[in-house]
Amino acid sequence: MVTATKSKADAQTAPAKYHEPVQGTVFHGDGREEALLKHLESLPSLSAEETSNLSLQDRSQRVLDAIHEFGKGENRYLMSVGDTKGRQVEALVKEKKPKLILELGTYVGYSGISFARHLLELHPNSIYPEKWSSNTEEDRAGYISLEKSEVYATTARGGFKLAGLDKVIKVVVGSSTPNLKSLRETLNMPRPLKFDMVFLDHLKPLYTIDIKVLEEEGLVGPGTVLVADNVVKPGNPAYLSWVRATPEQKRHSLQAPRLTAQPPVTPNPPTEEWETAFHNGPIDETRWAPDEAEGITAEGDPGLIYTSEMLDGWDPYTGEKDACEVSVCTGRQD
C-alpha cells in the first residue's frame, strides 16, 4: 500500500532573515569555508582552556552557535541544516538511538556536530571509529560522514575537534556514489552490518542514485531511518517518489529501460500538496543518474518498504520554508 506522509510541523517561529535567497548565486566554495575554520580557531570561547570543564553538550553547542553566527555575515551564508530542522532530527536520534549513522555531505560539520554529539551518551560502552579494529563483531558506534571537498572536510574536522567529537566522527573524502560502492571495504563493515540512520544533505540529484546504491549494498534495510534534507527547498521530487513508492510501483518502474539523458525536470508541487504528492510511483528521473555518479548505476532494492513523514522547518539564514523527509524502513516485501 502507499505509505502515508504527514507533516510534523511544531508550533515554531520562523527564524530571522539574514540573507536573500541564494539559489542562482555563488553561496559556497569561495573561501568562506576556510575563513570559518580560522574564525572558530581564533575564538577564546572555544579554546581548550575555556571548554575543558564543559559538558560535551555545552561544548558542542558553543561550536554550533559560533558556526551559525558566522553564517549571518555578508557573503557568509552556510549550507547548514540549521536549528529548526536540526533540533527535530536530534530528537529523532535520541528517540531511535542509532549506533551507526551515515551522513552524505559533511560540508562544514554543523549537522555532524548536532547529531553525533548524542552517540556517546546513548552508547557509552561502544567502540568508536578511531578504535575500530579488524574484529567486525565488536560493539561499534560512530558517525561516518562522506564529503567530496577536501577543503570542506578540513573545516569540518576542525569543528569536530573543537566540539570534542573528533573520536566519534570519521570523515571519508571523495565522490559519494563510488565511495558508497566501496564503503564496506573502507570501513571493514561486512554484511549483514548496516547503518541505523542515514542523513542525506549533499548534491540533490545524487539522492536517488545514492540511496539505490545503499540499498543494493545492504547498507540500509529494515530498521534504518533515512533523513533527507532540502526536500522542499530546492525540492527533490525524484527522491520523494522513490521512498514514497510501494514495492510493486518500484518493480514496475524498473521494467522500463534506464535513461541515459536527463529527462525533463519534475516541478515542485504547490505548498498545500507536498504531503500528498509523489505517491503514484517512481518518476522518470529515478531511472537517470547524473554525471556526478561517475558512471555508476543501480536499481536499488525495490522490495524495501518505507513509511515517511515530513519534518517542517526553515532555511536558517533566508527564512525560506523547507523540510526533511524522514523515511523509516519497516520491512521488505519479496
Measured between alpha carbons, how far is 188 from 312 in angstroms, rounded to an integer? 36
pLDDT at 14: 83
pLDDT at 13: 80
What CATH topology corresponds to 81-264+274-332?
Rossmann fold (3.40.50)
Please name every residue paired with 228 in a beta bridge, in sequence order, or none if there are none: 200, 325
Phi, psi of 173 (to 5 degrees): -95, 135
Phi-psi sector, 15: left (phi>0), alpha (psi -120 to 50), beta: beta
Measured between alpha carbons, how far is 159 from 165 in angstroms, rounded to an integer? 9
Q: In sequence order, which ranges of 142-280 are alpha helices (DSSP H)? A: 150-163, 176-181, 183-187, 206-216, 237-243, 247-254
pLDDT at 12: 67
pLDDT at 230: 98
pTM: 0.96
**pLDDT per residue rounded down to tens, the chain (334 residues):** 344 444 444 446 888 999 999 988 999 999 999 999 999 999 999 999 999 999 999 999 999 999 999 999 999 999 999 999 999 999 999 999 999 999 999 999 999 999 999 999 999 999 999 999 999 899 999 999 999 999 999 999 999 999 999 999 999 999 999 999 999 999 999 999 999 999 999 999 999 999 999 999 999 999 999 999 999 999 999 999 999 999 999 999 999 999 999 999 999 999 999 999 999 999 999 999 999 999 999 999 999 999 999 999 999 999 999 999 999 999 999 9
Residue 43 · residue 69 · CB < 8 Å: no
Residue spans of the domains in the chain: they are: 81-264+274-332
